[in-house]
Amino acid sequence: MAFSTRFTVGFMATICVVCSALVSVAAVTLRDRHQVNALRDRQRNVLVAAGLVERGEKVSEETVAELFEARVKTLVVDLEEGTIDTSIDPTTYDPRRAAQDPEQRRRLAENSAGLVATAPYELVYELTDEDGELDAIVLPVAGRGLWSTLYGYLALEADLVTVRGIAFYEHAETPGLGGEVDSARWRASWKGRRAFDEEGKPVIAVTKGPAPPPEDEPHEVDGLSGATITANGVTGLVRFWLGEEGFGPFLARYAKERGR
């Protein structure tokens, strides 16, 4: 049975219109869900860096949301000025997108994180304890490893000097080599180290081999065996984000306001 050309074209056009309508409806109806998932994922990673949630621990979305609601305040930080900008909504501002937008991004000279640009504002998380006192501050960090850009969070204790924890949530380093940045053992070696020297310069470094205990060597973290390039990348990116072009201006202001 032969169909007329008119019928065939009409049939194809109908199928196209119906399918594109379905895809559009799905995209629009799932958009909110997608945004909520992305937000919860970010929040979970912040809690992991701060040690409130273990990596891989089964914690419901509701628990993450509740913990955030009760204990965490999200600040929008102007990196150049070191000030907190309350005119920007932290639930919708996307620093990773802003860092790629030629209209918004802050281009950088060569730097230890190997980054070309950052967003003008970053989201910083202020954690409080049950009494409402500052417990920790969680800073986003990013920079080049060997194969990839690593994205994570670095948590500082309320003294704004001692490291609480670190957690990378996205990278493509080799499992078993650079990928050991995800191991609980390596991550634990950050806890209690001092990020800055007496002059406030970020000096913390991933060393080669195991680092002595924090009391003996407060500025060193265990090395990543067979992955010196990733390790040096992590040193560079952490120092960058704690330095003048990262959160240095913000941390200085914040410490001063709190009389630290």
Residue closer to ligand FMN (CB basis): 162 or 230: 230
**Nearest CA to 229 among 153, 141, 143?**
143
Instruction: Compute the Cα dihedral for 253, 244, 152, 160 and give only its sign.
Output: negative
Establish if 149 lies at the interface with ligand FMN (CB under 6 A).
no
Reading across the β-sheet that carries 163-170, which strands appear in turn? 83-84, 72-78, 121-128, 134-144, 149-157, 163-170
**175 to each of 54, 226, 227, how far by Cα in Å?**
20, 11, 10
Q: Which residue of 138, 146, 150, 234 would you call a contact of ligand FMN, by CB under 6 A?
A: 146
Q: Which residue of 90, 178, 214, 248 would you call a contact of ligand FMN, by CB under 6 A?
A: 178
- Token pair, residue 144, equals 């080049």
- Restricted to residues 13-72, the positions that interact with ligand FMN (CB under 6 A) are none
Q: Which stretch binds ligand FMN (CB under 6 A): 103-111, 128-136, 171-179, 198-206?
A: 171-179
- Name the one residue in this structure whose structure tokens are 């080599």: 177
Shortest distance, CB of residue 183 to ligand FMN, whole angstroms? 13
Q: Which stretch binds ligand FMN (CB under 6 A): 1-9, 36-44, 170-178, 245-253?
A: 170-178
Establish if 235 lies at the interface with ligand FMN (CB under 6 A).
no
Residue closer to ligand FMN (CB basis): 43 or 235: 235
What is the distance between the alpha carbons of residues 28 and 25, in angstroms, rounded to a whole number?
5
**Nearest CA to 51 among 69, 74, 67, 75?**
67
Q: Which residue of 39, 229, 252, 255 would you call a contact of ligand FMN, by CB under 6 A?
A: 229
Shortest distance, CB of residue 204 to ligand FMN, whole angstroms? 18
Helix (H) or strand (E) holding 97: helix 95-100
What is the distance between the alpha carbons of residues 260 and 26, in angstroms, rounded to a whole number?
51
Q: Which residue of 226, 244, 256, 258 would you call a contact of ligand FMN, by CB under 6 A?
A: 226
Shortest distance, CB of residue 209 to ligand FMN, whole angstroms? 9
Residue closer to ligand FMN (CB basis): 74 or 225: 225
Q: Which stretch binds ligand FMN (CB under 6 A): 76-84, 150-158, 227-235, 245-253?
A: 227-235
CB 133 within 8 A of CB 126: no
Closest residue (Cβ) to ligand FMN? 178
Residue type, 230: T
Q: Which residue of 45, 112, 189, 230 would you call a contact of ligand FMN, by CB under 6 A?
A: 230
Half-sphere exposure of 36 (CA within 13 A, CB side): 9
Residue closer to ligand FMN (CB basis): 59 or 229: 229
What is the distance between the alpha carbons of residues 138 and 153, in angstroms, rounded to a whole number?
6
Establish if 173 lies at the interface with ligand FMN (CB under 6 A).
yes
* Interface contacts to ligand FMN, rule CB under 6 A: 146-147, 173-174, 177-178, 225-230
